[in-house]
Copies of this chain bind each other. A is one copy, B any other.
Amino acid sequence: MQMVEQWIQWLGSFGSDSDGGVTRLLYTPSWKEAQEALKGEMETLGLLTFYDDAGNLFGRLEGTGGERSCILTGSHVDTVKRGGKYDGAYGIVAAITALSRLRERYGAPKKSIETVAFCEEEGSRFPYNYWGSTFMTGTASYTAMEQTRDQQGVSFMEAMAQAGFGPGTHGRGPRQDIDTFIELHVEQGAILEREQRSIGIVEQIVGLHRYTVRVHGEANHAGTTPMAYRKDAVRAASAMIVDIMNETERFGAPLVATVGQMELVPNTPNVIPGEVIFTIDIRHPDAEALKVASESLVATVQRVADCMGMQADMERWMNVAPIAMDKALTDAIEEICKQQGQSYRRMPSGAGHDAQIFAAHCRTAMVFVPSRGGISHSPLEYTEPDQLEDGVRVLMDLLYRLAY
């Protein structure tokens, strides 16, 4: 029996970087090789394989019950640039492993089950996330992609066509027959590791607001401008960031706020910055709490600006609503964990996943396994072989309950 860890190493060989990481961007040769290799393995394991027009790959185990709708399980095959072997890949190989072991042990299910390797989730080549799952659920259209280009200027439609996909290529568009989606994924955080739990049962995927703040001060000579005459944009921005972080902590978990990107103008040691631009990323699993926290942080920025006699412009350029996973599925996973004697915790997902796209269309569940040091999007991503197997055991029992 092939262990999940072996599958992870095998899939990581497609697009492998010299430093042990993986770069497998949408519609590139290494991406195509990975999908084709997965297709071959799925067939070897007795699954019926097919692509849709976007390049999502499916491996179907036909149910005997004659029911039209089916269960989908899997994750995305693409990676970030210089990413790791586990993000996305784990959900695909866990699905294949679970399906092949169930088939070996129990034969065909009553209800059809499909494994999926979504073509894209990371948005690392083109400035668009969740292409695979939004295509499948009919929430994305080719029209929206027609103007999209990668950093080399290659158009999305051209890249898709070169990889052998696009309108009509495989005769399969959005799906109406998926009634359940289950995604296994590495946590990409350190909560399970710190609390020594094997399984994270995702209750919600957090909502997210993203802002750009522009602080307008006055650029001046660092030597000839007394402190009292300054309108120092970096001093104001720093005071804002200190207050944002303190207030986020006062608000309490699970609220998180991050200033990840910052630019000083002109950004030279002997000039007082006349302008500072920075981003704020704010996340919470509850829509109302997210709204309240966001408004409060915006007010904080404004208060500091007023206090220092400077102007601050704020623009919200991302607004993703939090979404809950299916309660019955979540409860079922908890029961399974208890039966299997696995340590677990219910938790929100702080990162976005394909599961959030499906949750708006069908019952959806998501299961996390630990990430060593919480490290993700890095060649250093790692989950222990036993932990990978723990997740698959949960998936197998869940699929058995739902399909057999």
B190 touches A256 (CB 8 A): no
For chain A residues 207-245, which have a beta carbon within 8 Å of chain B?
Answer: 208, 210, 220-229, 232, 234-235, 237-239, 241-242, 245
Shortest Cβ gap from A197 to chain B (Å): 14
A108 in contact (CB, < 8 A): no
Closest to A259 in B: B234
**Contact status B239-A242, CB under 8 Å:** yes
Whether A221 contacts B188 in the complex (CB less than 8 A), given A226-B254, A227-B249, A245-B235, comes out as: yes
B267:A260 contact, CB within 8 angstroms: yes
Check if A137 is an interface residue, CB within 8 A of chain B.
Answer: no
In the complex, chain B residues whose CB is within 8 Å of the CB of A174: none
**Contact residue among B191, B241, B350 (Cβ-Cβ distance under 8 Å from A234):** B241
The stretch of A23-31, A38-46, A109-117, A270-278 in contact with B is A270-278
Q: Which residue of B224, B245, B273 is within 8 Å of A350 (Cβ)? A: B224
Residues in A317-354 with C-beta less than 8 Å from chain B: 349-352
> Closest residue to A237 on the B side, CB-wise?
B238
**A222 vs B256: C-alpha distance when bound (angstroms):** 7
**Cα-based distance from A273 to B188 in the complex (angstroms):** 16
- Select from chain B the residue with minimum beta-carbon distance to A282: B222
Any B CB within 8 A of the CB of A307: no
Q: How many copies does the complex hold?
A: 2
**How many residues of chain A have a CB within 8 Å of chain B?**
58
A194 at the interface (CB under 8 A from B): yes
Partner of A270, one of B206, B229, B239, B260: B260
Give the distance in Å from the alpha carbon of A360 to the alpha carbon of B50 in the complex: 82
Distance of A18 Cα from B74 Cα, bound (Å): 59
Q: Are A351 and B283 in contact (CB under 8 A)?
A: no
Taking a contact as CB atoms under 8 Å apart, the answer to whether A224 and B267 are in contact is no
In the complex, which residue of chain B has the Cβ closest to the Cβ of A252?
Answer: B227
The CA of A227 and the CA of B241, in the complex, are separated in Å by: 14
Cβ-defined contact, B283 with A279, below 8 A: no
If A245-B235, A264-B261, A374-B229 touch, does A224 touch B188 (CB 8 Å cutoff)? yes
Chain A to chain B: the 9 pairs with minimum beta-carbon distance, closest first: A189-B224, A223-B350, A222-B258, A238-B241, A224-B350, A238-B238, A269-B279, A223-B351, A260-B269
A selection of 26 A-B contacts at a CB cut-off of 8 Å is: A188-B221, A189-B220, A190-B225, A191-B224, A221-B351, A223-B281, A223-B349, A223-B351, A224-B349, A225-B374, A227-B253, A227-B256, A227-B257, A228-B253, A232-B245, A234-B260, A234-B262, A235-B242, A238-B239, A238-B259, A258-B270, A258-B271, A260-B269, A261-B267, A262-B264, A262-B267
